Amino acid sequence: MTRLASLEQVPAELRPSYDPAEHGTGIVHLGLGAFHKAHQASLTDLALSASGGDWRILGVSLRSPKASEELAPQNGLYTLIEKGAGGTVARVIGSVSGAICSAGNPGPALDAMAAETTKIVSLTVTEKAYGLDRATHGCDPSHPAVAADLASPDAPQGVLGLLVAALKRRRAAGLAPFTVLCCDNLPENGVLLKGAVADFARRLDPELAEWIAAEGAFPSTMVDRITPAATAATLAEAAALTGAEDLAAIETESFCQWVIEDDFPLGRPDWAAAGAIFTDDVAAFEAMKLRMLNGTHSMLAYAGFHAGLPYVRDVMDDPSLSQLVRRHLAAAAATLPEIPGIDTAEYGAALARRFENKAIAHETFQIAMDGSEKMPQRIFAALAEARAKDVDIRPFAFATAAWARHVSGSTHDCAAYELRDPRAAELSAMVSGKDAAGIAEALREAGFVPAAAAADDGFWAETATILEAMLARPMAEVIAEEAGRG
């Protein structure tokens, strides 16, 4: 079977309705992973079909060349397989014009970002890659990539270093800054990233920082599409559908949502034609998604993984844990401000159906990754609002205990695993040799726990009690007992 490299190889019904060669590149995307291919690149493909424009995407992988090595020989083409209640739909995406890796060689990525034709630089690099200081809304100079790039700003490897080096070149060339579009699961992601970029620039060149602060557009976004890592089965399915070997194929759910603040001074693709929602109040949508979808995801991932449930769909087949999923969804919903036109009960019911999707093999262990970066906006922010609104905090204590159980590395009722977290070493040292109360006390003091959550004695006492049971007895038993509380 020949490798996918041209649309002529694939059945006509799988091809885009436009000719990719007729559209120039207007977007550079940092973080060429599964999520980008399933979300922004797919919506851009639909926008190009609907309204055209020079909006194809140069994808940049920042760390490993794997994604660019899969896509570049295929001229950016790949199969997107969408699976939902209505069955499976596939198409070949034409919106990616090229793929490169910036690790060890940032020149081509910087040239592309600095080019006048580039109007938008978008990002899906995961929460941990930014080097944000969420408390000050600046950058964290002790973050490894931030520290390295502050020391060698002309050979940047990290996100902030690349953005600032490219913006510096644009300013020197008399060009307007590109719009920076953060598509990671962070609250007010545009505001956070703008603060971090300006702070990073200020440490090198205060005038550049002022220019970025005054002229830069950093719209906030809420992104949503459940996308597991591709497997051999994904690639085999793509080959069967297209008749070509496709090493970059990806599968995802049929649901897709993108809520974007409309602040694109240099223009943008017609993403609204592809179903994106433009609004002035992304923050409310973001809080809803982070606390309901992602918060519940984190809870079910820690509890499910330790109860021997490898996939989210298995969790939903477990009567007790799926009950706790619904409990968490309802508690998270109760912490939210009202969003005009949105019924959070309906949204929660739709989320439960998405988690039940039998066609999607979403690993609990994958979601359990990077808890120190995820817990603050998913669980601790909800806790603070729960206290303010007199909502039962038990679901948040249960989620935190399940995370603490995972951090403890204790494997009395599950196989040994590696703690995948940027702070893994620090967390393991903090909890080592401690009992449940000691672990809860130690985690409470971790720098990434927001002050309001850290100060909540009752919450940590409740967390310690649940953790004690989780450390002493099989997770499945603790889950059943928790569900029995009603």
Residue 207 beta carbon to ligand CS2: minimum distance, rounded to whole angstroms: 37
* DSSP line for 383-449: HHHHHHHT---HHHHHHHHHHHHHHHT--TTS------STTHHHHHHHHTT--HHHHHHHHHTSTTS
CB of 367 to ligand CS2, least distance (A): 4
Residue 120 sits in the site that holds ligand CS2 (CB under 6 A)? no
| # of chain residues touching ligand CS2 (CB under 6 A) | 10
Question: Least Å distance between CB 231 and ligand CS2?
Answer: 16
Q: Find the shortest distance in angstroms from Cβ 191 to ligand CS2.
A: 19
Q: Which two tokens stand for residue 168?
A: 């510096």
* Site stretch for ligand CS2 (CB under 6 A), options 48-56, 201-209, 219-227, 415-423: 219-227
Other Cβ atoms less than 10 A from the Cβ of 428: the count is 14
Q: Which of residues 340-369 bind ligand CS2 (CB under 6 A)?
A: 366-367
Closest contact distance (angstroms) between CB of 383 and ligand CS2 is: 18
- Minimum distance of ligand CS2 from residue 5's CB (angstroms): 30
Binding of residue 225 to ligand CS2 (CB under 6 A): yes
As a whole number of angstroms, the distance between CA 13 and CA 472 comes to: 56
Helix ranges (H only) for 279-363 are 282-288, 295-306, 312-317, 319-334, 344-356
Q: How far is the CB of 250 from ligand CS2 (least distance, A)?
A: 14
Selected binder of ligand CS2 within 118, 157, 185, 357 (CB under 6 A): 185
Please say which residue, 127 or 482, places its beta carbon nearer to ligand CS2.
127
Shortest gap between Cβ of 62 and ligand CS2 (angstroms)? 18
Q: Interface residues for ligand CS2 in 286-305 (CB under 6 A)?
A: 293-294, 297
Question: What distance in Å separates the CA atoms of residue 232 and residue 234, rounded to the nearest whole number?
Answer: 5
| 55 or 355: CB nearest ligand CS2 | 355
Alpha helices in 29-182 (DSSP H): 34-38, 40-51, 66-71, 107-114, 144-151, 159-172
CA distances for 468 relative to 27, 101, 109, 337, angstroms: 50, 46, 50, 34
Please give the Cα distance from 165 to 162 (Å, whole number). Answer: 5
Q: Cβ of 359: how many Cβ atoms within 10 Å?
A: 15
Nearer to ligand CS2, 14 or 312 (CB): 312
Pick between residue 140 and residue 184 the one whose CB is nearest to ligand CS2: 184
C-beta of 134 vs 297, nearer to ligand CS2: 297
Q: Determine which helix (DSSP H) or strand (DSSP E) holds 235, and give its type and residue range.
A: helix 232-242
Q: By 3-state DSSP, what share of the chain in percent is helix, strand and coil, each rounded to 5?
A: 50, 15, 35
Amino acid letter, 267: G
Which pair of tokens denotes residue 443? 């985690």
> Count of CB atoms within 10 A of residue 287's CB?
22
Q: Which of these ranges, 220-228, 422-430, 454-462, 477-485, lies near ligand CS2 under the rule CB under 6 A?
A: 220-228
Q: Which residue's beta carbon is nearest to the bound ligand CS2?
A: 297
Residue among 62, 283, 67, 258 nearest 160 (CA): 62
| SS3 label, residue 89 | strand
* DSSP, res 271: G
List 140, 199, 224, 482, residue binding ligand CS2 (CB under 6 A)? 224
Nearer to ligand CS2, 327 or 374 (CB): 374
Tell me if 421 contacts ligand CS2 by CB under 6 A.
no
Q: Which of 165, 217, 226, 332 binds ligand CS2 (CB under 6 A)?
A: 226
Query: Given the rule CB under 6 A, which residues bind ligand CS2?
Result: 185, 224-226, 293-294, 297, 366-367, 374
